Structure 1
Amino acid sequence: MARRVFLHIGAPKTGSTFVQHVLWRNRRALKRAGILLPASARAQDAAMTDLRQVPWRDADLRWTWDRLAAKARDWPGDVIISNEGLGGASSAQAARAVESLRPAEVHVVVAGRDLWRTLPSTWQQSIRARSGWRFGAFLGAVERGEFETFWENYTANRMLRRWGDLVPAERRHLVTVPPPGAPYDTLWHRFAGIMGIPDDLCELEAPTSNPSLGAAEAEVLRRVNLALGDRYPLRRPYQEVVQRHLVDSVLRQREDGLKFGVGLDRAGWVVDLAEQQIKELRDYPCRVVGDLAELRPTSMKNSRSPDELDDGQVLATAIETIVAMLEQAEALSTRADRRYEEILARVRTRVDGGVRRRLRRAGRR
């Protein structure tokens, strides 16, 4: 029976990729220390989609939440389940998840980031998940209270209410994301401290580059999404084609992209939201690792919205994207041809060797 289970449930865009990379890279060392990461990162993601019963879950996925929970319960030490999609679970789904892990001591871990950085990254995440709405429309919907999904799925406050209320206050943990310029390992050490991972147990590497899309690149992707119609639906078809060949291979590799973000005309609104968020979290009984002051926006600089780009700028980026995709297609084709020749050479060697052996055996007979 598991002793403690740590559920790291989000929020998205709070450094979870870096934390998960450290965890899985050091999986064997953690297991030797009595800390299990059950199954695999893909399996935990599949279990999340099963728990939430999302419409874009792939029908052929074998890992369910019950299967993951059973694996966690069977471990005699501590267990870590980490998937930022868990935070979007409903109250009933969260209750089911926590109950399925008992009688282990369940801890809920949530990360929070300042809204000045969260708002544009959330919109970009939605575009990379096949959305087609404009940045200004997204901000307006949040501002008018018409997009509750933002607060439910991308901020710590409501996640803590849905999940944290299911466990005692001492088992609720809020990690604040350090401001830009902080040492890269600060976030990891905050998580490790909660989970009881010794400082010298895991090998750390500086986080790999996870660049955001520039304004023009995001606008190109948004228009592609609109043009796709019913082709390449979420989740796997879109990830395997659009995400792989357009976003990861081309758009994210472009340098010196025009940065975008919330305009200074909305700075006061964002600051007010941040203060409200901090007050709610200060009043909520949980353990804060970091400093709630880190949820206040800093370095609020003006930036252009993708909505402000003219068609000439978008067209130029689209043409450069097509050229880059042609180069990518050529590289893939060359690699495939080389692989084909290597396989053919091995087959010929085996066939020729087999013919020679049969001739020698016939000669001996």
Structure 2
Amino acid sequence: MAERVFVHVGTPKSGTTYLQAGLWAQREALRDHGLSFPGRAPFDHNRASILVRKGGHLEAASGRRRGGRKLKVWTRFCREAERFDGTVVLSNEWYLAAGPEQAAGAVEQLGGERVHVVITTRNLVRLVPAGWQESLKVGRGTSLGDFVAGLDDPRNKWTWDVVDPARVARRWAEVVGPDRVHLITMPEQPTSSSQLWDRFCETVGLASGLTDVPPRLANESLSVQAARLLQEFGPALRDEIDRHDQHVRSHSRWLRNAVVRQVLAGVPGDPIGVGPQLRDELAEREARSVADLRDLGCPVTGDLDELLGGTDRDGARHPDDVTEAELVEASRALAVGLLAARMRSSERPGTDPDDGDDGDDGDDGDDDTDEEPTEP
């Protein structure tokens, strides 16, 4: 039986993917040191999260649901928590979207009082525009201002219940108690590239130096120019994908991978900023959130003050300030990048019978993933 089970629930855009990649890459070494990060594939943690927040684990327990890949994954996770002699870690940033009943059921099935919750977070001035970017990457065309206004709407995927660490901590504290909700803060300027990894290892009881520090992942952040272009084109691209591919992860496959990662992430430009007015609004919310966390009294690895005083990156600009000329330049970069990606692929376009009629003197010889769930 596991001594402790840690469920890392987010928040999104707080280094969760970096931690998950590090845990997965070193799972065999971690197991030798008494820590299990279960799963047959990295996406199993997404599957388990989807099942929990949709209540599938509760339906199965009551006999109203049988089989299914997600349920099989969750069953294996629960079995690991029961059988492994050490610490078990589950990690997906969308566990935080589970309702009270779903969260309580998951905790009970994983071991009850042995279950602890981990929340990683950073200041809202950096986290909020990162969340806006994520919405763009699946074809949402919302402006940054409208995205922030929409955080008050419980029908949206991105809400203050997702972004505000105090709200997340309080919900899970109602299930496991504040003493078993662990907050990991990250400063705006980390003192080392390993700081987040070190703090996570400390929180779950893994001694420092036992594993390699995971390499930082390739930066998928967009320039403000690329983000504004995606804001303009994203909805049309999403509609086109829907006409040809109905798979649940089609938007992530085509937009996030084929457009954002392969092309737009390389479009040069300036960092995304929130501007003075929104920065002041977020600063007020940061202060309220930190005060709530102090009142809650959950253990902290780091310092709650690191969540205060968020600033824009040097040279950052608000997306609304991008000019039409900059959008044209970004569009050119997108078109060239997509053509280059097609030319690098193994698939060539068909040959037109009239090729060569353009006066070209050249030779006339003959010379296509498993991602995160998209938004509902």
* Distance verdict in 2 for CA 1:235–1:309, change over 3 Å: farther
Question: Could you tell me whether the CA contact under 8 Å between 1:11 and 1:84 is conserved in 2?
Answer: yes
Counterpart residue type for residue 8 of structure 1:
H
Residue of structure 2 in register with 1:330 after alignment: 343
* TM-fit CA distance, 1:233: 5.7
Instruction: Please state how far the C-alpha of 1:181 moved relative to its aligned partner.
Output: 4.3
When residues 205 and 38 of structure 1 are mapped into structure 2, their CA distance, relative to the original with a 3 A threshold, is: closer
Name 2:355's counterpart in structure 1: none
Question: 1:49 matched to which residue of 2?
Answer: 50
Which of 213, 216, 237 pairs up with 1:204?
A: 213
Q: Does residue 1:310 correspond to 2:296, yes or no?
A: no
Give the partner amino acid of 2:3.
R
Give, as a single letter, the amino acid of the residue that structure 2 aligns with 1:99: E
Residue 320 of structure 1 pairs with residue 304 of structure 2: no
Any stretches of 5+ residues in structure 1 without a counterpart? 55-59, 336-365
CA shift, 1:269, in A, is 1.7
Alignment partner, residue 141 of structure 2 = 132
- In structure 2, what is the Cα distance between the partners aligned to 1:306 and 1:317? 13
The C-alpha deviation readout for 1:142-198, integer Å capped at 9, x for no partner, is 4xx446842111221121122122123332101111222421111111111111111
TM score, norm. by length of structure 1? 0.83
Contact persistence 1:190–1:290 (CA under 8 A):
yes
- AA in 2 matched with 1:3: E
1:106-121 superposed matches below 5 A: 106-121=115-130
**Take 1:159 and 1:305, find their aligned partners in 2: how far apart are those partners?**
28
Distance in 2 of aligned mates of 1:94 and 1:110:
14
Q: 1:62 aligns with which of 60, 69, 74?
A: 69
Instruction: Classify the secondary structure of the residue corresponding to 1:118.
Output: helix
Q: Report the CA distance shift for 1:62/1:141 in structure 2 as closer, same or farther (over 3 A).
A: closer
| Distance across 1 between alignment mates of 2:247 and 2:127 | 23
Residues 8 and 84 of structure 1 are in contact (CA less than 8 Å); yes or no, is this contact kept in structure 2? yes
SS in 2 for 1:166: helix
Question: 1:258 and 1:35 mapped to 2: Cα distance?
Answer: 41
Cα pair 2:166 2:293 within 8 Å, conserved: yes
The C-alpha deviation readout for 1:3-37, integer Å capped at 9, x for no partner, is 21001110011111222222112111111122111
Deviates more, 1:227-236 or 1:78-87: 227-236
CA shift at 1:241, angstroms?
Answer: 1.6
* Aligned partner letter, 2:269: G
Deviations 1:40-90 (A, max 9, x none): 321111111111129xxxxx9713234432333232321000111111211
2:185 corresponding residue in structure 1: 176
Q: Secondary structure at the match of 1:41?
A: coil
- For the 8 Å contact 1:5–1:106, the answer to whether it is kept is yes
SS in 2 for 1:278: helix
Match of 1:274 in 2: 286
Give distance in 1, aligned partners of 2:325 and 2:312.
Answer: 28
Instruction: Tell whether 2:265 aligns with 1:258.
Output: no
Q: Which has the higher helix share?
A: 1
User: CA deviation digits over 1:270-306, x for unaligned, max 9?
Assistant: 2211111110000002101100100012444674222
Q: Report how many aligned residue pairs link the two structures.
A: 328
**Aligned sequence identity (%):** 31
Where does residue 201 of structure 2 map in the other structure? Answer: 192
Change (3 A) 1:118 1:233: farther
Structure 2 residue ranges without an equivalent (≥5): 56-66, 349-376
